[in-house]
Structure 1
């Protein structure tokens, strides 16, 4: 899964050399403190490691590659810590950097391990996984014919990625299934659009953040401006949809909150063992939205950076949180580049909401719990709460498209078809409807005032 963190450079001269240096350094340290530490010293542990490696190199039935052994050992070390710490080979590390830019190949699925089982955090919208019906909480038991029990996250991701157009079969177990079921997915190039928006009704906007990427704040700024332009004035209220948002970059989450709270107010703070893992993030000056009402939608697929946003707006009473309990990932991962172009994703801190709440393994509790239900067709048709404009949501920020008169009839037809699907989905979205009802009711109560 994507993880939040800061980039941090550390110089490493090579894995074989690292082991040797550790032996020398820790050996000297251990000799100085041997009397106090006894037999459980770090030196003895490192010595055990090097002994086993030497035995494997000498006696294993086949000749083995030293780097492969080191990579395997590092993977083993990190997997014993927590589900989010991992070692990335040069190939995986390169893909991770591409992921944060919003374009990568594969299925469009965010995964982690829960109770030792490969588990879906959330499918990413408009991807093969999303279209195939993969849901948050699904347990992936097999990828093609390979059981996932012995796979770490990186190996699982590698197996699910591949050339566009190729197929992969996921064997899924889900609450309500009597037995595991196979889902056949066709890989595609995943282009994740971080922010989407539309006007729900006069004065009421809707912004969906699918993932926190490098340009999320920039895209949000454009979306809010576009909503105001379309509304021909400031908004009365906003639905901020963070459902099934698996997180992403910490700095982008902070900048999103920055739009809605006053300068100097706390967004999030982190606590870890190292001095530089103790950080505080506060709202900056300028670029603030008017004090209109906000409803934030969350669910079990809302994790990490999306929980930071929801938690901060909830603590400052800037928004009403609606939906269901969020995922509960309250740890910070630092990405550390290594010398051979591999990388380390290491959990270095826990993050806390402005009021000091830890979200780890608990999540954000909504102010108003609303389960996601599908509305009866006649109810969705009857309730005309959304006067939706005819715009293609996927190209909302491409202003030149608005003035483009060169589209063919065939292209226009495709755009309307895609838009109609989006419109239908929103009209049948029970949680989004309840959020809009709340905003309208909120606005009515505000205009009435005491004694009116």
Structure 2
């Protein structure tokens, strides 16, 4: 997807939060020429080595392979997110943003020199196998990942549907690395999921920011309102394990809930890398209470949304510390259909916070936990369980049985079973209800 910004074509691509400037090879050459004599001396050194290898290496070598290897090494020396994409990988990267691609469903980065999982994508082989955010991938099949680039790792994990790949994982709490054998599949990422919880309360989950995320969010909000009588009393926006995605979609999502002011801005060395994105009043949602859920798998674009809503005091952020990816990558198409991913800027929340290597700190820290029904816990009985108990004689003539019409009594029955077992979601729902009760009391 391409967008015009200040007269230059800019594409916003992929889960690494890419602001993509399209630069021609000629423009790059002119920039190099302007750098001065020292750079020319370094380039001359490179060409000398290339010529020696071509002439004297024990076996004949492919020049393009040497050039690609040199580019990979150069970019790997910069940071974990700058990389070179050969034509086939560049083409596949552009397909990824449409939400359908082949592989395991893992978003990865390099952290402390180790290939690390940002988050598994929901309903993918990685998610189902139990891969978790923060897992360190030590080996892919028999190949150690030390000094392996992200692009090389991605290439090795992808493959035809139905084929297997074994990952050797080290995780906090493991005594030793553990092997996970996964079966590759076609990854169909559904960007937005939604459900009604209790009467008037909605739940929206964004798994990844793709080309149609904003459109899907609009549909989800409309459906939730229709299901709940036209208005929402509160909303839980779940960004846990959301590795990020398209910058423009993150801005649009935040814009639905922020009436005006800054959403995010970027700063870099070049003018094209310095941008500001602000909210528009039209299309803003009513000011109902909101809770945003995040965790260590929330990265990049999801951190932009959480940070914007937190800074504007539009939502309470709940969960655990987010991943902390606050850099912007520019994708530059090259002359042979390959692509260059280069870190060109950092992004900042409206208050000027950089979350790079820090992450978003929740307003309320809530660790993930498993909810066990008290009905199933041993040693807990109720009056109705006692032999020869008598029923109450209700003064209003009712038999006091649950009929599913009382909003308070039927709360649990209206919440999806999967959500009921999610401790963080239920804590968020409790907070929204408490919020409304406090407003009523204060009147």
Q: Work out whether the TM-score is over 0.5.
A: yes
Contact 1:26–1:43 under 8 Å retained in 2: no
After superposition, give the CA deviation of every residue in 1:277-335 in whole Å (9 maximum; x if it has no partner).
Answer: 11100012311111000000000000000000000000000000000000000111111
**Distance between the aligned counterparts of 1:387 and 1:191, measured in 2?**
31
Q: Which residue of 2 aligns with 1:237?
A: 234
Report deviation, 1:145.
1.0
Q: Which residue of 1 aligns with 2:181?
A: 184
Match of 1:443 among 426, 436, 443: 436
Q: Structure 2 regions of 5+ residues with no counterpart? A: 1-13, 381-408
Report deviation, 1:26.
6.1
**Distance between the aligned counterparts of 1:258 and 1:380, measured in 2?**
44
Correspondence 1:207 to 2:220: no
Q: Which residue of 1 aligns with 2:286?
A: 290
Correspondence 1:5 to 2:1: no
Q: Residues 47 and 172 (structure 1 numbering): CA distance in 2 closer, same or farther, change over 3 Å?
A: same
Q: Which residue of 2 aligns with 1:74?
A: 71
Q: Residues 22 and 59 (structure 1 numbering): CA distance in 2 closer, same or farther, change over 3 Å?
A: farther
Correspondence 1:151 to 2:151: no
Q: Residues 314 and 128 (structure 1 numbering): CA distance in 2 closer, same or farther, change over 3 Å?
A: same
Match of 1:433 among 405, 426, 430: 426
SS in 1 for 2:325: coil
Match of 1:270 among 266, 271, 280: 266
Deviates more, 1:379-388 or 1:364-373: 379-388
Contact 2:15–2:209 under 8 Å retained in 1: no
Q: Which residue of 2 aligns with 1:370?
A: 366
SS in 2 for 1:308: helix
Contact 1:90–1:343 under 8 Å retained in 2: yes
**Distance between the aligned counterparts of 2:410 and 2:67, measured in 1?**
62
Correspondence 1:168 to 2:181: no
**Distance between the aligned counterparts of 2:124 and 2:412, measured in 1?**
26
Paired residues, what number? 400
**Distance between the aligned counterparts of 1:73 and 1:177, measured in 2?**
37
**Distance between the aligned counterparts of 1:274 and 1:188, measured in 2?**
40
Report deviation, 1:185.
0.5
SS in 1 for 2:202: strand
SS in 2 for 1:344: strand
After superposition, give the CA deviation of every residue in 1:352-398 in whole Å (9 maximum; x if it has no partner).
Answer: 00000010010000000000001124379999644448xxxxxxxxx
- Structure 1 runs (4+) deviating above 6 angstroms are 379-384
**Distance between the aligned counterparts of 2:335 and 2:411, measured in 1?**
56
Match of 2:354 among 350, 358, 367: 358
Match of 2:128 among 107, 125, 131: 131
**Distance between the aligned counterparts of 1:181 and 1:438, measured in 2?**
39
Q: CA RMSD in A?
A: 2.0
* TM-score when normalising by structure 1: 0.85
Residues 22-421 of structure 1 correspond to what in structure 2 (within 5 A)? 25=33, 29-30=36-37, 41-263=38-260, 265-378=261-374, 385-388=411-414
**Distance between the aligned counterparts of 1:248 and 1:379, measured in 2?**
42
Q: Structure 1 regions of 5+ residues with no counterpart? A: 31-40, 390-422
- Bigger radius of gyration: 2
SS in 2 for 1:7: strand
Contact 1:198–1:388 under 8 Å retained in 2: no
SS in 2 for 1:149: coil
Q: Residues 300 and 384 (structure 1 numbering): CA distance in 2 closer, same or farther, change over 3 Å?
A: farther
Q: Which residue of 1 aligns with 2:384?
A: none
**Distance between the aligned counterparts of 1:119 and 1:380, measured in 2?**
38
After superposition, give the CA deviation of every residue in 1:212-237 in whole Å (9 maximum; x if it has no partner).
Answer: 01111111000000100111221000
Q: Which residue of 1 aligns with 2:387?
A: none
**Distance between the aligned counterparts of 1:380 and 1:289, measured in 2?**
41
Q: Residues 126 and 48 (structure 1 numbering): CA distance in 2 closer, same or farther, change over 3 Å?
A: same
**Distance between the aligned counterparts of 1:26 and 1:62, measured in 2?**
37
